[in-house]
Amino acid sequence: MPYVVTDLCNGCRYTECVSVCPVECFHFDDQMTYIDPENCIDCGGCVPVCPVGAIKPAHHLPADKRQWIEINRQRAAETPVLTGRLPPLPGADERKRAILQR
């Protein structure tokens, strides 16, 4: 039961998750981060630190988000590991405000 980064990350990519991951299981591309399900140890430490609430346990995903389980698995295999924080993407703060006001 690994954790999964969902599309809420796409466009923000705050990477707070990376700084608290004990096993460096986060990968990244230009849009967002992904969790490698083979390395995730289910500690859940990344969930509360995400500023937009983008990370969910795989078994709690609503039906319209379940495709992110496979996307995380696939993209983690194709992208490099992120070992430290990156600056958020341009416009991340505005996007976060919009998400939190929903």
Partner 1 sequence: MTPAAARYRVAIIGAGPSGFYAAEALLRSGQSVSVDMFERLPVPYGLVRFGVAPDHPKLKQVTKVFDRIARMENFRFFGGIEIGTTLSISALRSCYHAVVIASGASIGRLLDVPGERLFGSRQAADFVAWYNGHPEYKHHAFDFSGERAVIIGHGNVALDVARILAKTPDELKHTDIAAHALEALAESHIRDIYIVGRRGPEQTRFSAKELQEFAELADCDPVSKLDGFALPAPDASLDAEAHAVFATLRSFSGPMSARRRCIFLFGLAPLAIAGDSRVQRMLLRRSSGAGSAEVAINCDLVFSSIGRRTAPLAGVPYDEAKGVHANIGGRITADGVALLGLYVCGWGKRGPQGTIGTNRACSVETVDHVLADLPQTDDPPAHPDSLFGPAGNRIPYYVDYSGWDRIDAEEIARGAAKGKPREKLVAFDEMIATARTNIAAEPAVVTRPSRSGAQCETI
* Closest separation in Å from C-beta 23 to partner 1: 5
Looking at this protein, which amino acid is placed at residue 7? D
Q: How far is the CB of 50 from partner 1 (least distance, A)?
A: 11
H or E segment to which residue 33 belongs: strand 33-35
Site string for partner 1, 34-53 (x = CB under 8 A): -------xxxxxxxx----x
| Euclidean distance between CA atoms 40 and 65, whole angstroms | 19
- What is the token pair recorded at 60? 């709690």
Q: Report the nearest approach of partner 1 to the CB of residue 39 (Å).
A: 8
**Residue range at the interface with partner 1 (CB under 8 A); choices 15-23, 61-69, 71-79, 91-99:** 15-23
User: Measured from the CB of residue 21, what is the shortest distance to partner 1 in angstroms?
Assistant: 5
User: What gap in Å lies between CA 57 and CA 55, rounded to an integer?
Assistant: 7
Q: Which window, 4-12, 21-29, 71-79, 89-97, contacts partner 1 (CB under 8 A)?
A: 21-29
Helices (H), the chain: 16-20, 46-49, 67-78, 92-100
d(CA 30, CA 33): 9
Question: What is the contact surface with partner 1 in residues (CB under 8 A)?
Answer: 19-24, 41-48, 53, 57
